Amino acid sequence: MNLSTTYLGLPLKNPLLPGASPMAHKLDTVRRLEDAGAAAIMMHSLFEEQITSQQLAEFAHTEFSADSSSEASSYFPQMKDYALGPDRYLEQIAKIKEMVAIPVIGSLNGISMGGWTDHARLIQQAGADALELNVYYVATDPNESGTAVEKRTLDILEAVKASVTIPVAVKLSSYFSSPGHFAKQLDASGAAGVVMFNRFYQPDINIEELEATPHLELSNSTELRQRLRWIAIIHGHIKASIALSGGVHSFEDIIKGIMVGANVVQVVSSLLKHGPEHLAGLLADFSRWMEAHEYESVDQMRGSMSLAHCPDPSVYERANYLRVLQLWKI
């Protein structure tokens, strides 16, 4: 049975990899992920805010202080809160690249046009085989149109692509009026892949202190369905690879991701909860299921439940909405 797949033009031994997370902070964890069978190592993000803070400090000929921050707001982390500064991030890629035999994917994360995008080149020089670009943007200005939000990402992609030759994937938000149309635009602009989706961490409200408080809860499998629907819709419409990110906790979730059309499935919360070795179990169960159901390859499974190929496409459309509402009996 053939578990291999291709993602961003890279041949991978299987379709399961850790997503961007603190798991890349420690070389020991990276080693354990590779030993557990990860198809590639995904770095956590290097953030625009870290890069611009360092650049400002260098420009002002001041020491790059661990306490310096590009923003006055207390909501922004201080530089010392980031596990690795920009230089150490690049060193970490180089160390990981030397240590593992699987591809290493860097991650660059920012929202504005500027010098930070040049770090894509440094990430490539450090040894990354590909780059994930995360434009985690919250459109807080009601005067900014959806078209302008999309153009922002396309412009950043263009700038990043101009500084590298490695493939670039874009990690998408699900908050677009027409995610399929936007994925097509990214594809036409040379994105080698789309990662669906970013998880938006919604702040909570502290009603006593009158504060919005940051909140991170790990995902569960219910978050998978949004990804399944949109990948099913987009599969077959773009040349770019598709990575599923969000809500993968069981081997069944991996199968569903491949069936709707993902080239690879990224997993974070489940590995943070159960440890890197959990990946080996997911992979073994996935492979056993494929064997029991007489699949010869991952390629054979891919897209069988996409909108274009599934027996009842209406399940991804408005009909599903009407049906589920009528199924609720009081």
Ligand X SMILES: Cc1cc2nc3c(=O)[nH]c(=O)nc-3n(C[C@H](O)[C@H](O)[C@H](O)COP(=O)(O)O)c2cc1C
Q: Which residues bind ligand X (CB under 6 A)?
A: 19-22, 44-45, 107, 109, 134, 171, 199, 218-219, 223, 245-248, 267-269, 272
Q: Considering the complex, what minimum distance in angstroms separates the CB of residue 1 from ligand X?
A: 25
Residue 218 or 322 with smaller CB distance to ligand X: 218
Residue 100 or 135 with smaller CB distance to ligand X: 135
Q: Considering the complex, what minimum distance in angstroms separates the CB of residue 299 from ligand X?
A: 23
Residue 138 or 218 with smaller CB distance to ligand X: 218
Residue 271 or 305 with smaller CB distance to ligand X: 271
Output phi, psi for 313, to 5 deg: -60, -20
CA gyration radius, the chain: 20
Residue 230 in contact with residue 179, Cβ under 8 Å? yes
Residue 175 or 310 with smaller CB distance to ligand X: 175
Residue 170 in contact with residue 160, Cβ under 8 Å? no
Alpha helices in the chain, H assignment, sequence order: 27-35, 48-59, 86-99, 119-125, 146-163, 179-188, 224-234, 251-260, 269-274, 278-292, 298-301, 318-327
Q: Largest alpha-carbon pair distance within the chain?
A: 69
Q: Considering the complex, what minimum distance in angstroms separates the CB of residue 146 from ligand X?
A: 22
Neighbours of 292 (CB within 10 A): 8
H or E stretch including 213? strand 211-213
Q: Considering the complex, what minimum distance in angstroms separates the CB of residue 23 from ligand X?
A: 9
Q: Considering the complex, what minimum distance in angstroms separates the CB of residue 27 from ligand X?
A: 17
